Chains A and B, each alone.
Chain A
């Protein structure tokens, strides 16, 4: 392949594709052809860059110029200016919110600047459908090093010493899990490694991004893990909502097999290992280890009690090591660069006790009421404030931050006072939340914490498999109580009742879905109790979210009489003439909020 002068890296992550990045790519190719630049310039589709909020994204390499929000019709001008005349086009460069000056270089943009990339090391740099691209960036070097120069025990020792802990939610030390699987008795020597790519946490999409952007990093991690543990077969369980991830895995697997990196006698070392892929069918609980294994066997995904661990008897009763996508993706760099390199980043000390700290980085998906939404990989120990304000660019629309939710449905809502918390597995748990899989949702003053707790309990109630009573009945009852509080029918004692049900679920539920389910409720009661009390005692929702407690009104100062709201209203509750103040009839209004979304002047208020 001839070396080209410029590489145009077009983001082909799901977010950018939905914003028509493939049309941008086609336009680039047309223009390049037209100007006879094909010999000098290459257009390469890459995995997700993480800065999904400003897509479609184009990165011009090797200069590192970052273009955003491109449309196909912008391309002729861009090609002419930048590629022919060498002048970056100002108006497509990034401008930080509230500022005027543009930032041309990706590496200077605050969103990228503070990030440290280990799991996402290849993001935006390679074509995920080409194994050569992965190999060109140190890919499969770690596997080669492990298989040809290290004993399985040595590999295991490096992973143990690195202090790597599971990125799927629990934060269990990976090296210990590998060791237990390796040591577990197996009559015929069968052991499995499994990759959990079920990613069911609403609000988290790092696993999807890793698979779509760099599938080989996961496969390489699994090969190394299998070698250390002595496993001969691996399984990947992907959720069916991620069709592109599934496709990328299939392509990567075939390429790895063709290159002799999977199959019999890998790299001529005598070690044999292959991987098969299974699709989930839409059940959150199937992300739980025992439910996932049941589902792999072709059964419904109901968890079982874990007094017998899956590392001893898991899939088909064989020793099984299950790790998360991001965990697997962390393995190759650790093997290549060593445990010491990894432990330089992060918190605590893991040299004696594997639970003594959180090492390396964590990928978070930043979403909600924040300026820069997307995926970020940051060192463990960074504060919430740095993530939200430095990387995330602060709260959108000049609003005030109310809460940061971490850990999805198993996690909790933290208040503004805790923004200086240093984020790691243990600090988040101590604060009543959880690292979880890395969802980080920022909420502002327009979000109701009671409604949000109800939202998660709704979710969990729908997803509970129903096998154990504390979870099934506990969630149903919590849902009933929260619903009545949101409807303005809450009673004195409801908060205490929620706490009591929570305590029972924490003690008695069968799996972590049930034992962690109370977290959204308990953390909001702990930090935002006054909102619950207002709902119950005063029938008031200060955020203006709970339908039964609010009325929609028009702000006379802001209304321009544009008639948008009246046209949006499905029940004709809004009257008013063009260029004159509009009025909502509260007796007709069904509080659907269509006018609120339609108004472009922020003139619809909820009181």
Chain B
């Protein structure tokens, strides 16, 4: 999976948001979505085409959690560490994910497959503790059953790659 975005794509994104300054956050989101990070070249192009300074784009890129300057993994494992999940064992859950993936929270596996991120409240407190693997939400997860969950996902992922 490439972590790049072409000049034409960036141009298309800028046009999608009518070159409007008040939509630069949306533009950055779309670039992040395409390239799983914000490449410098894309920021420079947005700066040029919309007419906002690079300092401002870097300010935005480092202020909001949705953005990263380094490529994120192909798959995101987001562990909710909100208050309801905290009391239902989220700290132990994070630890178990770190152990299983062999990385610390906030890092990406060496093969670029997985990133592990703690997030503050996914708004499903009734199901605490929760985590998401990409778009799929799992409730009532504990450090004891998370390994199975991750393994199953990794297996499916391998299968999908082969076919």
Contacts and interface: CB of A to CB of B under 8 A. Distances in A.
Contact of A278 (B26, B60, B63, B130): B26
A241 interface: yes
Nearest to A448: B87
B120 interface: yes
A361 interface: no
- Interface size range of chain A in the complex: 35 or more
Interface in A49-71: 51-53, 55
Given A284-B120, A296-B22, A298-B21, A367 B125 contact: yes
A282 B87 contact: no
Interface-central residue, B87, B122, B127, B137, by most chain A CB under 10 Å: B87
Given A53-B127, A199-B123, A15 B25 contact: no
B151 interface: no
A310 interface: no
A279 B26 contact: yes
Contact of A205 (B67, B96, B125): B125
B75 interface: no
Chain A contact residues: helix, strand, loop or mixed: mixed
Interface in B57-115: 59-60, 63-67, 82-84, 86-89, 91-92, 95-96, 99
Contacts of B20: 298
A413 to B, nearest CB: 11
A199 B16 CA distance: 27
Interface string A568-595: 1010000000000000000000001110
Contacts of B126: 15, 51-53, 55, 205, 365-367, 373-375
A295 to B, nearest CB: 7
A18 B139 contact: yes
B123 A281 contact: no
Contacts of A405: 83
B3 interface: no
A53 B124 CA distance: 10
A15 B124 contact: yes
B150 interface: no
Contacts of B142: 597
Interface string A198-239: 011111110010000000000000000000000000000000
Contacts of A570: 99
B95 A592 contact: yes
A299 B56 contact: yes
Nearest to A373: B126
Contact of A441 (B52, B87, B89, B99): B87
Interface string B125-148: 111101000011111001110000
A424 interface: no
A279 B24 CA distance: 11
A527 interface: no
A439 interface: yes
B153 interface: no
Nearest to B50: A298
Interface in A291-306: 295-301
A283 B65 contact: yes
Contacts of B14: none
B22 A368 contact: no
B121 A373 contact: no
Contacts of B23: 278, 298
B116 interface: no
A281 B137 contact: no
Contacts of A280: 25, 64
B149 interface: no
Contacts of B84: 202-203, 367-368, 373, 441
A592 B123 contact: no
A596 interface: yes
A47 to B, nearest CB: 14
Contact of B124 (A14, A282, A452): A14
Given A205-B125, A281-B66, A597 B26 contact: no
Contacts of A204: 121, 123, 125
B28 interface: yes
Interface string A5-19: 000000000110111
B25 A281 contact: yes
A281 B65 contact: yes
B131 to A, nearest CB: 10
Contacts of A598: 143-144
B122 A298 contact: no
B66 A240 contact: yes
Given A15-B139, A597-B144, A367 B123 contact: no
A593 B129 CA distance: 15
A18 B89 CA distance: 19
Interface in A558-576: 564, 568, 570
A365 B125 contact: yes
Nearest to B137: A18
A201 B121 contact: yes
A446 to B, nearest CB: 8
B123 A439 contact: no
A208 B123 contact: yes
Interface in A431-460: 439, 441, 443, 447, 452, 455-456, 459
29 contacts: A17-B137, A18-B127, A53-B126, A199-B123, A202-B84, A202-B120, A202-B121, A203-B82, A242-B123, A278-B25, A279-B26, A280-B64, A281-B25, A283-B64, A283-B65, A284-B120, A299-B56, A301-B63, A368-B83, A373-B125, A405-B83, A439-B83, A441-B84, A441-B87, A463-B120, A592-B92, A593-B92, A594-B144, A598-B144
Interface of B: 20-26, 28-29, 52, 56, 59-60, 63-67, 82-84, 86-89, 91-92, 95-96, 99, 119-128, 130, 135-139, 142-144
Going nearest first, the 7 A-B pairs with the smallest beta carbon separation are A52-B126, A202-B82, A282-B65, A281-B64, A205-B123, A367-B125, A367-B84
Interface of A: 14-15, 17-19, 51-53, 55, 199-205, 208, 240-243, 278-284, 295-301, 365-369, 373-375, 405, 408, 439, 441, 443, 447, 452, 455-456, 459, 463, 465, 564, 568, 570, 592-594, 596-598
Given A201-B121, A203-B121, A298-B22, 7 more contacts: A18-B124, A52-B127, A202-B121, A240-B66, A278-B23, A279-B29, A373-B127
